[in-house]
Amino acid sequence: MQYTHLGRSGLKVSRLCLGTMNFGPHTDEADAHNIMDSALDAGVNFFDTANVYGGSGYRGRTEEIIGRWFAKGGERRERTVLATKVYGTMTDRPNESRLSALNIRRALDASLKRLQTDYIDVYQFHHVDRDTPWDEIWQASEVAVQQGKILYSGSSNFAGWHIAQAQEAARRRNYTGLVSEQSIYNLFRRELELEVIPAAQQYGLGLIPWSPLQGGLLGGVLKKERAGVRRTEGRAVETLKKHREQIQQFEDFADVLGHEPGDIALAWLLHQPAVTAPIVGPRTQEQLDAGIRALKVTLDADALKRLDDIFPGHRPAPEDYAW
């Protein structure tokens, strides 16, 4: 396993992050525990979750599954860099969502209880809260750090200017601020290259991409359709119809390189200088194994150029659209 620092922090994390959103709704607890054990055995030490994961009728269930896994012992907690999130609505009470100091305090304590741990390594803001001033957010975070309940703060789904706003507010307080940003980023979705990635690099944030396979569209969807092992459903049907030729070019190029399409998509992310660790959210052991396999894929300059030709990216703003 390869390891790198999370942004400008001294924290070392694996180049793959285990996403746990499927644990509970799609993967039962026993299988989830086995997947987490396998991830640790493979050297994946970075696990990501959120307080709202578990399904619409059971928010918090995923954290509980992880907590019972930690409770098995075997230094599972000590070997894991644990990231969870705050923002989402947990109940219909008015102060149990977003980033008020009150909700941060209550949500953090609730997550710690579900996770059966006394601290969170990376506490992430799941979305920007336009109604709460950053001085309030950072004050609540500083208190949590002083209490030993969190070590680092991260953001998720922020715009570039939100990162700048957060970091400048932290600077005024002589506070560390954010060390990571978690956003959707893959060969299909490259909008982050306009402003989010430049902001993250300027302020020293590690990028943690979610949906690296764009809901499976970069995971060999056409090949699987022909083999009868996958049926595309929902919004992906229209996306596949619109981009079928592009996806076929990608899958054909993966064949030329001698790798599975999903391995190429993950390897491409690992070759991007801003990326710390793509999130692999397996439902099964086989999907975890496939994610780990991508670490062995090396793409040369010609291969990276061909992928850019198939999936054109962006230059940083404003050069992308101005002189």
Q: Among 53, 87, 152, 185, which one carries the catalytic annotation? A: 53
Phi, psi of 283 (to 5 degrees): -90, -25
Residues 162, 187: Cα–Cα separation, whole Å: 24
Q: CB burial class (10 A; 0-12, 13-18, 19+) of residue 197?
A: buried
Structure tokens at 284: 């099964």
Residues 109, 281: Cα–Cα separation, whole Å: 25
In the residue annotation, 123 being an active-site residue is answered as: no
Residues 102, 95: Cα–Cα separation, whole Å: 7
The bridge status of strand 12-14 relative to strand 3-5 is antiparallel
Instruction: Please tell me whether residue 121 adopts helix, strand or coil conformation.
Output: strand
Residues 163, 205: Cα–Cα separation, whole Å: 9
Nearest Cα neighbor of 52 from 100, 88, 102 is 88
Active site residues: 53
